Structure 1
Amino acid sequence: MAQQSAHDLTGPVPDALTPAAAPAAPQRRLPDGFAVRLDPRTRSRDDGAALLGGSPLRLLRLSPRARQLLAPGRLVVRDATTAALAARLLDAGLGHPDLPAAAAPHDVTVVIPVKDRPAGLGRLLSALRADPATRHLPVIVVDDGSTVPVPTAHGVRVLRFDRSRGPAAARNAGLRAAPTPFVAFLDSDCVPRPGWLQRLRPHLDDPRLAVVAPRIVALPDAGRGWFTPYEAAVSALDMGAHPAAVRPGSAVSYVPSAALLARRAALGAPFDEDMPVAEDVDLIWRLTAAGWRVRYEPGAAVAHEHPGTTREWLRRRAFYGTGAALLAARHGGAVAPLVMAPETALAWGLALSGRRAGRVAAAGVLAVTVARLASRLAAPGERPPAGFAALLVTRGVGASGRALARSVTRHHWPLALSAALTSRRARRWVLGVATADAVLAWWPHRSRVGPVRFAVARRLEDLAYGAGLWRGASRARDPRALLPTRPPRLTPARPVGPQPDRWWKRR
């Protein structure tokens, strides 16, 4: 077909499409045959009467019937009761879908936004043609004002903007033109691994699932900069090896738009075209606020061409940092760089005062915290689990300590640098925090990258991101992207599971 403008193919496109809230998720249960398996990191307590896990951390008490259904650690939906229990596990982050790979899907359109990247686009199209599962799928390439227009190709529909409108507008144009109920967004610097779509598509059998994302891994031999091993190990696009429910405030709070499989009906309010960066985070957070589920599936992988030069790499990190202010204007405290309970912040402040009395007072604050948490965790008629509460508080203090270190070296490094320039004691603290942060982050990846290279790259990346963060907040005249917030409280224990008269009995 002849190449035309996006206006010709999709109808009038406004100069700025700013979406409102996403459409509400349907109140439909999981289908029969849908299976959920407990997360390996979920811990069973009280002889299987309670489950501890998820992100944020939750404690669920199970009814005897629910314990029987979950005895093998896997639940298959067979009726409304098991569907409700499975949904509860998914939403709590205690379980994940356990689904076989699908056959080659026929209800997916691939949308590729591109600007001035002909080699990458050709590589991606070749990969799609070589994969039997995607060979016959409709493909829409949205040319976002490339200097040399994207040529037409067999089996590929090309939409073109006469001027660059940005990736959000390009994806939206492809979304509107897609003829299928599901759309796979792939950036032109990506190459999907075989089987990626067959692993993602079964997740959308959940009628409340809006988006599922694969793991983004480094494209082999695509970058040869000194930082390449570091970027391959801890790329900002790689959400890790564990499946997860995606939502603000969790371990996986967003997924990048470099590769997504989405339900068109859920994207009635699509990517925000006023956002040149972080439009993917904004979309995910609007979807979860409307009741949709979003999932991360690392069993599917898409390779990504990471930046090839130090300048390009650091410029991209700074660009990512500017997106925090845009998110703060739309989502408030969800973008806070540091999340810490007031009592934990007080304990750390006292402990870091450098005085023995401060350390004793910090221990007292934590002891009170343990006592209060034990009381909240106690099941009816049982003694408060003081030892268990102490373990949870210790874990929380450790995690908050690492988050505080990240704040010092990444989000708030201008403040830390100012303190270090005026105080010898502050210099020692900042140097010690930066060293500990680098060592702890390097250790899980020690077989892939050396410690010195990792530490130097981590500090440079943090400096670039933090500079972008402060620049974005200053430009927006909005400090919310720099301010800490408090976490939600641990969900109180309550029975969950089939009951004689109802599946979930509230306390």
Structure 2
Amino acid sequence: MPDISVIVPTLDADRTFGWESKLRASPVEAELLVRDEASASAARNAGIRAASADKLVFLDDDSDPRGDYFQRVSALLDEHPAVTGRIRDTGSRFIRPVSSSDYDQGESGHVTETVVGCNMAMRREVLEDIGGFDERLPYGHEETELIDRLCDAYDVWYCPDLVVDHPFADSLGGYLEKQYRHGREAVPYYAIRGENLPRRMARFALVPSHYTGPTATATALQTLGQLVAVAGMARGLLWYLAADGGDGPLDQPTDERI
């Protein structure tokens, strides 16, 4: 039985990633599961069901694990129920000021509740306890919802030397599209959490810190991205209010790209 199962959702099951030789050369016995189900949630859940190992590693199809990543993540899962690590933004340099807070959590290891799906791993027993990814959430918040449940019962350890390269956005247009979709898909996420949607949207739109960054450039990007996200959330809220029985927005169409 392999020591780790690496699960990658993608739109192309035949896709290769460039780091497979690193996985094969690792002293850790591993299997790679590339899944192309209809959404990231469905693909990850299918990967979990198919996995042979008790240590499950989740990467995106544009993640690039660095150094001795696979050996390191296996060792960390011997010590912690769930782990995440540093993400080096390889996207547009112009957009990087707005990715740093989630992507790089500093130089020291610590317990965290900030986990990005392109670099996370957990023991199988954790998922058996809390359940898998909620497939009503196709994009953008599926990992957040799972981490909410995980952090209610377990600690997630951030390790700064568990590193992947991953682009946050390759262009201004890509960044704004991402912000719009994140805003739109926030509505089913908040509905699952049982929150008052108009009130939650107002809180999201009116918090001043959502519009500011450490530099003038970051503030301009943050403000523009926040306004687009608010527009996406408004679109999601309208869908929710128009849906019959309150269940519609959880199944709304999406132009997801994994």
Normalising by structure 1, we get a TM-score of: 0.41
Q: Which string of whole-angstrom CA distances, capped at 9 and with x for unpartnered residues, describes residues 183-214 of structure 1?
A: 111111110011223333333234xx442112
Identity in percent: 26
Rg (Cα) greater in structure:
1
Return closer, same or farther for 1:470/1:293 CA change in 2, 3 Å cut-off.
same
Contiguous gaps of at least 5 residues in structure 1: 1-105, 145-164, 247-252, 340-402, 410-436, 443-450, 479-507
- Would you say 1:284 and 2:147 are equivalent positions? yes
Aligned to 2:218: 454
Matched residues in 1 for 2:97 and 2:11: separation? 27
Aligned to 1:204: 77
Q: Which of 110, 113, 134 is the equivalent residue of 1:244?
A: 110
TM-fit CA distance, 1:134: 6.6
Contiguous gaps of at least 5 residues in structure 2: 243-258
Q: Which string of whole-angstrom CA distances, capped at 9 and with x for unpartnered residues, describes residues 36-63 of structure 1?
A: xxxxxxxxxxxxxxxxxxxxxxxxxxxx
Q: Which of 121, 125, 139 is the equivalent residue of 1:265?
A: 125
Matched residues in 1 for 2:233 and 2:95: separation? 20
Aligned to 1:229: 93
Matched residues in 2 for 1:111 and 1:312: separation? 25
Q: Secondary structure at the match of 2:36?
A: strand
Aligned to 2:136: 274
Check conservation: 1:129, 1:135, Cα contact below 8 A.
no
Q: Which string of whole-angstrom CA distances, capped at 9 and with x for unpartnered residues, describes residues 1-28 of structure 1?
A: xxxxxxxxxxxxxxxxxxxxxxxxxxxx
Aligned to 1:176: 49
Aligned to 1:323: 185
Check conservation: 2:27, 2:71, Cα contact below 8 A.
no
Matched residues in 2 for 1:334 and 1:185: separation? 31
Return closer, same or farther for 1:313/1:286 CA change in 2, 3 Å cut-off.
same
Amino acid in structure 2 at the alignment position of 1:218: D
Return closer, same or farther for 1:296/1:468 CA change in 2, 3 Å cut-off.
farther
Taking the TM superposition and a 5 Å limit, the aligned residue runs for 1:481-496 are none
Amino acid in structure 1 at the alignment position of 2:11: K
Q: Secondary structure at the match of 1:217?
A: strand
TM-fit CA distance, 1:472: 2.4
Aligned to 1:187: 60
Amino acid in structure 1 at the alignment position of 2:58: F
Matched residues in 1 for 2:64 and 2:185: separation? 26
Return closer, same or farther for 1:116/1:107 CA change in 2, 3 Å cut-off.
closer
Matched residues in 2 for 1:216 and 1:167: separation? 19
CA root-mean-square deviation: 3.0
Check conservation: 2:111, 2:157, Cα contact below 8 A.
yes
Return closer, same or farther for 1:174/1:167 CA change in 2, 3 Å cut-off.
same
Matched residues in 1 for 2:208 and 2:235: separation? 21
TM-fit CA distance, 1:318: 1.2
Amino acid in structure 1 at the alignment position of 2:96: A
Taking the TM superposition and a 5 Å limit, the aligned residue runs for 1:72-83 are none
How many residues were matched structurally? 231
Normalising by structure 2, we get a TM-score of: 0.77
Check conservation: 2:98, 2:218, Cα contact below 8 A.
no
Aligned to 1:127: 19
Amino acid in structure 1 at the alignment position of 2:146: L
TM-fit CA distance, 1:174: 1.0
Amino acid in structure 1 at the alignment position of 2:234: W
Amino acid in structure 2 at the alignment position of 1:128: E
- Would you say 1:468 and 2:222 are equivalent positions? no
- Would you say 1:255 and 2:115 are equivalent positions? yes
With a CA cutoff of 8 Å and minimum separation of 6, indicate the structure with the bigger relative contact order.
2
TM-fit CA distance, 1:175: 0.8
Matched residues in 2 for 1:338 and 1:281: separation? 20
Matched residues in 1 for 2:228 and 2:62: separation? 22
